[in-house]
């Protein structure tokens, strides 16, 4: 007799599809079979039973470098994620200059504990890699289960230079952590932006040309080169160009420990969305910016081919009012408008409807992109799959339910969604976290605080031979021993 049995559904994993019941006990999957009995039962007849989504790129209760706070805290952000089919998320804990890493993680613990309805972890943003950070605090963060560190190659108050980047990469490599990077060429962006503003081109639409595709591809190439020099694992986040994706694909083919991510907005929105009346285009400002339809088609091909290991929302919620997008006034230039848009609740419904529903990806690929790949890449060892002994993090989908997207359906603290009015087919109707109903039949059942912090393991790099720079190899550099 199990605590809960899910009966009659079609189970989908990243590799298989089959009919079976799921027996759940003590928050974990205890059995897969037929005719299972439980103290509680969910009838999933006609539904798809999949691992709960893992949203691994989102900004929750996070200040920007200029002091702006995202609109979602761990309560509202986790609720929106759960309504969108997710049972776990990994937001960022942002170190700003002058802050220590331990101080940063303690701050985010105070914001997250007792607030989230789903399990959570942190990616650490490193903006001030002091000697103490590199030698003491990053290793301590890893021991705490924070096994991914993000750096920026742009934004004056956040970016690290190439030497600092190498220092972070080598610390991450030593401890088995994964480095993530926002790859855009800062000089190109500031050069174009200053000239646009000087010429009076200040409306939101000019955000798109201020971040040229070349700024991404140059930075992606440089980031990959730095990672290869020290043979470190690196994830290029929110890739928005075919050129950037091709660089990742080539590096992976060569055996380098390189991974790629793209996001919802780059597959479904374009730069034309920035060209709306008044300041409405500000709702669609993110970095890197939205591109065009041919770019969307190329990114879909890379998603299908496996260039992108993960597919994320990059949920960065700033309200369309004076608390967010318009904090610098209704006539702010594009340089003064907060970058980012909401999307944590629509990542999976959009991918299911436009991906699975239109034959672009299989159900198995959907599961891999929604949960399994993120679990493996980010060291969430008990999540991302339906198998005996795994956490009972499960999303039950009605593949035929059709919705018109509204901001009210997002359950976040935002006053708009960039996907307003889209028609989607396929919707998560029940979401379980460790065997407990979080969402069921459109209702929130879990209380804030149900979600627990998850310490993560290191990334499994089996099968990646890596890159050995001859200049760092004592056999070919005249015997010099260079520390990793």
Average pLDDT value for the chain: 97
The mean per-residue pLDDT over the stretch 400-420 comes to 98
The mean per-residue pLDDT over the stretch 368-378 comes to 98
User: At residue 484, does pLDDT exceed 80?
Assistant: no
d(CA 181, CA 223): 8
Please tell me the predicted confidence (pLDDT) of residue 21.
Answer: 98
Please tell me the predicted confidence (pLDDT) of residue 483.
Answer: 72
The sheet with strand 2-7 has its strands ordered as 28-33, 21-25, 2-7, 38-43
Which CATH code is given to the segment(s) 53-370? Answer: 3.20.20.140
The mean per-residue pLDDT over the stretch 246-258 comes to 98
Please tell me the predicted confidence (pLDDT) of residue 482.
Answer: 86
User: At residue 282, does pLDDT exceed 90?
Assistant: yes
User: At residue 384, does pLDDT exceed 90?
Assistant: yes
User: At residue 78, does pLDDT exceed 80?
Assistant: yes
The mean per-residue pLDDT over the stretch 326-340 comes to 96
Please tell me the predicted confidence (pLDDT) of residue 395.
Answer: 98
Please tell me the predicted confidence (pLDDT) of residue 66.
Answer: 87
Total length of the chain: 484
pTM to 2 decimals? Answer: 0.97
Distances from the Cα of 256 to the Cα of 217, 239, 409, 477, angstroms: 17, 18, 41, 21
User: At residue 8, does pLDDT exceed 90?
Assistant: yes
The mean per-residue pLDDT over the stretch 398-426 comes to 98
Please tell me the predicted confidence (pLDDT) of residue 287.
Answer: 98
Please tell me the predicted confidence (pLDDT) of residue 128.
Answer: 97
Question: For the segment 167-222, what is each residue's pLDDT rounded down to a tens digit?
Answer: 999 999 999 999 999 999 999 999 999 999 999 999 999 999 999 999 999 999 99
pLDDT band at residue 400 under the 50/70/90 scheme: very high
**Burial 429-464, CB ≥16 within 10 A → b, else e:** bbbbbbbbbbbeeeebbbebebbebbebebbeeeeb
Locate the domains of the chain by residue range.
53-370
d(CA 78, CA 69): 17
Within 17-137, residue ranges assigned H as helices are 74-83, 101-112, 131-132
The mean per-residue pLDDT over the stretch 216-244 comes to 98
User: At residue 26, does pLDDT exceed 90?
Assistant: yes
């Amino acid at each position: 007799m199990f605590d809960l049995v899910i009966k009659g559904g079609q189970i989908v994993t990243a590799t298989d599809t089959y009919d079976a019941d799921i027996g759940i006990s003590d928050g974990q999957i205890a059995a897969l079979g037929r005719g299972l009995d439980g103290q509680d039962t969910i009838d999933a007849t006609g539904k798809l039973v999949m691992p709960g989504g893992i949203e691994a790129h989102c900004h929750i209760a996070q200040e920007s470098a200029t002091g702006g706070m995202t609109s979602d805290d761990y309560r509202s952000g986790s609720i929106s994620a759960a309504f969108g089919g997710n049972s776990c998320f990994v937001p960022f804990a942002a170190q700003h200059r002058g802050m220590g890493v331990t101080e940063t993680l303690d701050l985010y613990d105070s914001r997250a504990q007792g607030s989230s309805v789903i399990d959570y972890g942190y990616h650490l943003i490193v903006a001030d890699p002091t000697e103490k950070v590199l030698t003491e605090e990053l290793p301590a963060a890893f021991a705490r289960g924070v096994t991914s560190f993000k750096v920026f190659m742009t934004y004056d108050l956040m970016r690290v230079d190439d030497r600092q980047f190498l220092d972070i990469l080598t610390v991450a490599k030593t401890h088995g952590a994964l480095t993530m990077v926002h790859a855009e060429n800062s000089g190109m962006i500031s050069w174009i932006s200053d000239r646009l503003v000087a010429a009076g081109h200040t409306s939101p639409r000019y955000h798109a040309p201020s971040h040229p595709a070349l700024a991404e591809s140059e930075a992606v190439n440089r980031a990959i080169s730095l990672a290869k020099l020290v043979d470190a694992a690196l994830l290029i986040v929110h890739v928005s160009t075919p050129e950037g994706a091709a660089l990742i694909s080539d590096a992976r083919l060569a055996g380098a420990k390189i991974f790629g991510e793209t996001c919802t907005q780059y597959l479904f929105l374009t730069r034309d969305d920035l060209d709306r009346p008044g300041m409405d285009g500000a709702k669609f400002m993110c970095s890197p910016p939205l591109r065009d339809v041919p770019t969307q088609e190329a990114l879909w091909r890379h998603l299908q081919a496996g260039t992108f290991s993960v597919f994320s929302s990059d949920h960065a919620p700033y309200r369309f009012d004076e608390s967010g997008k318009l904090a610098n006034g209704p006539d702010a230039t594009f340089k003064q408008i907060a970058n980012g848009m909401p999307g944590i609740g629509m990542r999976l419904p959009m991918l299911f409807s436009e991906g699975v529903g239109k034959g672009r990806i299989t159900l198995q690929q959907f599961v891999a992109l929604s949960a399994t790949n993120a679990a493996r890449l980010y060291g969430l060892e008990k999540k991302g799959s339906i198998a005996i002994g795994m956490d009972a993090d499960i999303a039950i989908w009605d593949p035929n339910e059709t919705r018109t997207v509204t901001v009210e359906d997002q359950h976040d603290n935002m006053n708009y969604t960039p996907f307003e009015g889209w028609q989607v087919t396929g919707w998560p109707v029940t979401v379980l976290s460790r065997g407990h109903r979080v969402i069921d039949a459109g209702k929130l059942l879990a209380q804030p605080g149900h979600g627990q912090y998850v310490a993560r393991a290191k990334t499994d790099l089996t099968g990646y031979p890596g890159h050995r720079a001859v200049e760092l190899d004592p056999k070919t550099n005249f015997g010099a021993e260079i520390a990793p």
